[in-house]
Amino acid sequence: MLATAIIVFREVLEAALIVGIVLAATQGLARRVSWVSIGIMAGVAGAGLVAWFADAISFALAGVGQEVFNAGIMLFAVLMLGWHNVWMKRHGREMAQQMRAMGQAVKFGSRSMYMLAVVVGLAVLREGSEVVLFLYGIAVAQQDSPGLMLSGGLLGLLSGAMMGLLMYRGLLRISSRHLFTVTTWMITLLAAGMAAQAAGFLTQADLLPPLVQSMWDTSDIVAQNSVLGRVLQTLIGYADHPSGIQVLFYAATLVSIAVLMRLYGSAPSAKVQPLNAIGT
Amino acid sequence: MNVKYWVMVPALLLSLGIAPPLHAENLPAFNLTIKDGRYSPEQVEIPAGQKIKLVIKNDGPGPEEFESSDLNREKIIKEGKTAEVFIGPLKPGTYKFIGEFHPKTAQGQIVAK
């Protein structure tokens, strides 16, 4: 029962941390909890589908379908996260002003919210499909009684969700002046970590060269598979011995997002103010 | 702005020379079987410095996830199915792997010589 709980916990943890960060980063956007909830539910439904079709996916593309699918999901999430950061930089000040003026959740920003809901959904889908397959495997092998298995799974799920909640609450303690900068950075690091993971999958599929087998080996300090290692893997993209191409993707993502935020992140200039913005 | 993304990402990918694994047929293959939550053999010897193909068959029961943080690999294999995982070129050494769904019993290592 405990073994089940631990394995489910580790999978749920990654998705839960992402949900926590997204919720903190979208403070003030209207109906964000609904958006995120839809993302989670869509992710759960998708997880079931992915688990069901796991071998069809796996055998697609000359046997590397699973790797390409995983890498594709992660790279798509990277694009969404990067887009969100640029968008928020561009409209953040405008949004904060509106919030202060109206004193209530801001109505616009739904496009950015949609993107983040997709990121949440994809994270839940990826981790969820592993949980579904794992639990199915236990049921088939009849290692645990159904009751023990379910309670183990539930325990893992709740513990993982708790970590997401802690992340969210922890972030909210940061003063609102700094929260925007902090969550922007967290999203950038999240994206960079996902890009590195995607590179790992593409190397596994023999679609990308590793370049260097391992850039460093810090598995004695923090093992990637430990709970701390997994938390760091999600939050900052930590890997205990990443390949050269993983480090390259990581750095390229950091730089790309920073550059794009610089290029496109300034608020629209004064001379194109819409007429109805006077007196905000 | 959106246009730039759709141009940048494929351009980056192409510049890194992404191509389907056309040489997959010519790579040396090494077999690994999972059954009842255990790997067999539990030690696989491969030549160092060479890319190889690990052919993993899952005899069940249930699905398994071949996972190795030493090798940066993870793949889910359903019962009765076989999957390929590309490994290497590796420096000489020992690289551990596990079956994530049966972590206590499904353990093995790749020894590159």
Interface residue A268 vs chain B (CB under 8 A): no
Give pLDDT, residue B5: 57
User: Does A181 map to a domain?
Assistant: yes
User: Residue B1 gets which letter from DSSP?
Assistant: -
Which CATH number does the domain housing residue B82 bear? 2.60.40.420
Residue with tokens 């370049």: A211
- 3 state DSSP class of A91: helix
Q: Mutation test of the interface with chain A: which of B12, B76, B79, choosing the one with the most A Cβ atoms within 10 A?
A: B76
Interface residue B70 vs chain A (CB under 8 A): yes
Give pLDDT, residue B94: 95
User: Does A278 map to a domain?
Assistant: no
pLDDT tens readout for residues A219-271: 889 998 888 999 999 999 999 999 999 999 999 999 999 999 999 877 665 44
ipTM: 0.79
Q: Which residue of A has its CA nearest to B70?
A: A241
Q: For a pLDDT cut of 70, what percent of chain B falls above it? A: 78
Give pLDDT, residue A28: 74
Number of separate domains in chain A:
1
User: Does B70 map to a domain?
Assistant: yes
Backbone angles phi, psi at A241, to 5 degrees: -145, 85
pLDDT tens readout for residues B85-99: 999 889 999 999 999
Interface residue A217 vs chain B (CB under 8 A): no
CA distances from B91 to A15, A200, B17, B44, B56 (A): 34, 18, 24, 15, 22
* Distance separating the N- and C-terminal Cα atoms of chain B: 50
- Pairwise pLDDT comparison (B24 vs B59), residue with the higher score: B59
pTM of the model: 0.84
Please report how the helices A65-102 and B2-15 are oriented relative to each other, as an axis angle in degrees rounded to 10.
150
Interfacial A residues in 225-244 facing B (CB < 8 Å): 225, 239-243
Which candidate from A205, A243, A260 shows the least CB-CB separation from B21?
A205
Enumerate residue ranges in chain A where pLDDT < 70. 99, 102-109, 142-144, 267-280
B contacts of A141 (beta carbons < 8 Å): 37, 61-62
Spatial CA neighbour of A71 closest among A245, A224, A220, A214: A245
Q: Which residue of A has its CA nearest to B67?
A: A225
Inspect the interface and report whether the beta carbons of B1 and A264 lie closer than 8 Å: yes
Give pLDDT, residue A101: 74
* Distance separating the N- and C-terminal Cα atoms of chain A: 57
Give pLDDT, residue A125: 95
Within 13 A of A119's CA, how many CA atoms are on the CB side?
A: 30
How would you list the strands of the sheet with B64-68, edge to edge? Answer: B43-46, B107-112, B93-99, B64-68, B73-77
B contacts of A209 (beta carbons < 8 Å): 17
Dihedral sign computed on CA atoms, order A41, A42, A44, A48: positive
Judge whether A104 and B71 are in contact, CB under 8 Å.
no
**Angstrom distance (rounded) from CA A160 to CA A164:** 7
**Angstrom distance (rounded) from CA A72 to CA A237:** 17
User: Does B80 map to a domain?
Assistant: yes
Give pLDDT, residue B19: 47
Inspect the interface and report whether the beta carbons of A213 and B75 lie closer than 8 Å: no
User: Does B29 map to a domain?
Assistant: yes
Inspect the interface and report whether the beta carbons of B64 and A67 lie closer than 8 Å: no
- The answer, yes or no, to whether residue B79 has pLDDT greater than 60, is yes
A contacts of B51 (beta carbons < 8 Å): 206
User: Does B99 map to a domain?
Assistant: yes
User: Does A110 map to a domain?
Assistant: yes
User: Does B5 map to a domain?
Assistant: no
Give pLDDT, residue B28: 92
User: Does B7 map to a domain?
Assistant: no
Backbone angles phi, psi at A232, to 5 degrees: -65, -35
User: Does A275 map to a domain?
Assistant: no
A110: containing domain? 2-268
Number of separate domains in chain B:
1
- 3 state DSSP class of A49: helix
Q: Is A198 exposed, middle or buried (0-12, 13-18, 19+ CB in 10 A)?
A: buried
**Angstrom distance (rounded) from CA A107 to CA A221:** 46
Inspect the interface and report whether the beta carbons of A204 and B73 lie closer than 8 Å: yes
User: Residue A268 gets which letter from DSSP?
Assistant: P
Inspect the interface and report whether the beta carbons of B1 and A86 lie closer than 8 Å: yes
Range B23-30 average pLDDT: 76
Helix segments in chain B, DSSP class H: 2-15
Dihedral sign computed on CA atoms, order A43, A45, A48, A52: negative
Judge whether A222 and A228 are in contact, CB under 8 Å.
yes
**Angstrom distance (rounded) from CA A104 to CA B66:** 49
Which candidate from B2, B76, B90 shows the least CB-CB separation from A130?
B76
B43: containing domain? 23-112
- The answer, yes or no, to whether residue B84 has pLDDT greater than 80, is yes
User: Does A30 map to a domain?
Assistant: yes
Whole-number average pLDDT of chain A? 87
Whole-number average pLDDT of chain B? 84
Residues in CB range of A254: below 8 A, 6 or more apart:
A188, A189, A192
User: Does B45 map to a domain?
Assistant: yes
**Angstrom distance (rounded) from CA B33 to CA B59:** 7
- The answer, yes or no, to whether residue B55 has pLDDT greater than 70, is yes
Give pLDDT, residue B16: 47
